[in-house]
Amino acid sequence: MVSKAFPPTFQYFTTSGGARVYRLPLEAFPNFWAYAYLVLVGDYRVLIDCGSGNDGSSASLEAALAQVNQQSDRPFRFEDLTHILITHGHIDHFSGLVFLCERTKALVGVHELDLHTLSHHEERLAVISHRLGVFLSEAGVEAEPREQMLRMHKFTKAIYHSLPVDFTYETEGMRVGPFEMIHVPGHCPGHVAIRLNDIVFSGDHVLAGMTTHQSPEQLIPYNGLGHYLESLSSFERWAVGARVILGGHNAPIENLPGRIAAIRHHINERLQTAFEFLAEGHTIVEVAEKLYGRMGGYNALLVTEKAGAYVEYLYQRGMLEIVNLNEMEESAQPVTIRYRRSNHSASSEILVQEVKHVFV
């Protein structure tokens, strides 16, 4: 049943308990695909995530539902849904609620740390944009590209408006009927993975073929590499015995320990490269360019956030110091910060081992 085909295809799975799981490919944005999953188990007819809700995403959701109906005797309609369970508060996973709220009375659930992203979206966007402006200034992004990045960050205003949420997973004891949740912050504050029998829905926490996006917790509390690595360990223990991991993007994962080892290795390499580069004082923008090369457009924002997460991780653990502290002390405005390794006497090799030791 496992396919690595692209563009993503409709697929179905059966859990060890006999539940039927349909994987619904949604074109969340042009040429950017996400998966929602329709799960039928007992009286529960559950949609896990729901795409971005823009025209392409909603059209592909309807097309996928038509494929579900080719597989079953009784037609399934949106109004038959009992629950919509959101894995995390990112636009490609929850914004389809705008499309669905007129078509179903299904109860919407999310983790409490992502509740405001759904129910007070405009406020969250304003707060995070403000913090992002400060972060980008401190990272060393010039005024013009900074304004451009902030405009790009606010694009969700056009496709989502705040909607009520019916319950949070905490209030339900991290269980909804036969579904069990675990909180895995790092990629997103309220990220959860959801388990039904021997199938785990991992959202963006663990994906095949790519390391999940990181951003610093200076920007959003409960994000950040430290939280992500802790969550990776708790997720690995919690998911023991799962036969297949179904992500919000990319192919199913059948070898979870192997996939998690590859993610840790990738992060370790990035940390080491950043750490070696910071033998001299550098800004986060310069670290981003070292790690990812020069980027433009939305990618420039993404790599600045990623480099910010790596630098923050090293700084939080006392491995870096700020070179231009005087400048910071003298200004009430955000100042571009230059970081450097804090231990100049030890050799690079020893320090690299130290980095490894911190989180493996």
Out of 114, 204, 217, 289, the only residue in the binding site for Zn ion (CB under 5 A) is: 204
State the amino acid at position 39 in one-letter form. Answer: V
In the bound complex, what is the minimum distance in angstroms from residue 214's beta carbon to Zn ion? 11
- Asked whether position 111 contacts Zn ion by CB under 5 A, the answer is no
Rounded to 5 degrees, φ, ψ at 117 are -60, -35
Complex with Zn ion: residue 90 or 282, whichever CB lies closer: 90
Residue span 154-193 as binding mask against Zn ion, x where in contact by CB under 5 A, dash where not: ----------------------------------------
SS3 assignment, position 348: helix
| Of 205, 186, 17, nearest in space to 93 by CA | 205
Interacting span for Zn ion (CB under 5 A) from 115-123, 204-212, 215-223, 342-350: 204-212
Burial (0-12, 13-18, 19+ Cβ within 10 Å), 300: buried
Complex with Zn ion: residue 92 or 114, whichever CB lies closer: 92
- Asked whether position 92 contacts Zn ion by CB under 5 A, the answer is yes
Interacting span for Zn ion (CB under 5 A) from 19-27, 40-48, 240-248, 301-309: 240-248
Complex with Zn ion: residue 56 or 248, whichever CB lies closer: 248
Interacting span for Zn ion (CB under 5 A) from 120-128, 158-166, 168-176, 247-255: 247-255
Out of 216, 248, 252, 308, the only residue in the binding site for Zn ion (CB under 5 A) is: 248
In the bound complex, what is the minimum distance in angstroms from residue 216's beta carbon to Zn ion? 15
SS3 assignment, position 75: coil
In the bound complex, what is the minimum distance in angstroms from residue 88's beta carbon to Zn ion? 6
Complex with Zn ion: residue 278 or 309, whichever CB lies closer: 309
In the bound complex, what is the minimum distance in angstroms from residue 359's beta carbon to Zn ion? 21
- Asked whether position 121 contacts Zn ion by CB under 5 A, the answer is no
Angle 274-275-279 from CA coordinates, rounded to 5°: 110
Residue 307 to residue 187: CA distance in whole angstroms? 14
Count of CB atoms situated within 10 Å of the CB of 142: 11
Interacting span for Zn ion (CB under 5 A) from 40-48, 53-61, 126-134, 202-210: 202-210
Residues in Cβ contact with 315 at an 8 Å cutoff, skipping those fewer than 6 apart:
339
> How far is the first Cα of the chain from the last one, in angstroms, to the nearest whole number?
33
In the bound complex, what is the minimum distance in angstroms from residue 213's beta carbon to Zn ion? 7
Residue span 269-308 as binding mask against Zn ion, x where in contact by CB under 5 A, dash where not: ----------------------------------------
Residue 80 to residue 99: CA distance in whole angstroms? 15
In the bound complex, what is the minimum distance in angstroms from residue 342's beta carbon to Zn ion? 32
In the bound complex, what is the minimum distance in angstroms from residue 281's beta carbon to Zn ion? 32
- Asked whether position 217 contacts Zn ion by CB under 5 A, the answer is no
Sheet holding 107-110, edge to edge: 11-14, 20-29, 32-41, 44-48, 83-85, 107-110, 167-168
Complex with Zn ion: residue 83 or 187, whichever CB lies closer: 187
Residue 78 to residue 104: CA distance in whole angstroms? 6
- Asked whether position 90 contacts Zn ion by CB under 5 A, the answer is yes
| Of 139, 38, 34, 42, nearest in space to 93 by CA | 34
Q: The dihedral of CA 80, 101, 39, 29: what is its sign?
A: positive
| Of 148, 178, 9, nearest in space to 85 by CA | 178
Strand partners for 22: 12, 38
Q: Pairing relation of β-strands 199-203 and 244-247?
A: parallel
Interacting span for Zn ion (CB under 5 A) from 89-97, 109-117, 119-127, 149-157: 89-97
Q: In the numeric block, which tokens belong to residue 358?
A: 């911190």
Which positions lie near Zn ion, rule CB under 5 A? 90, 92, 204, 248
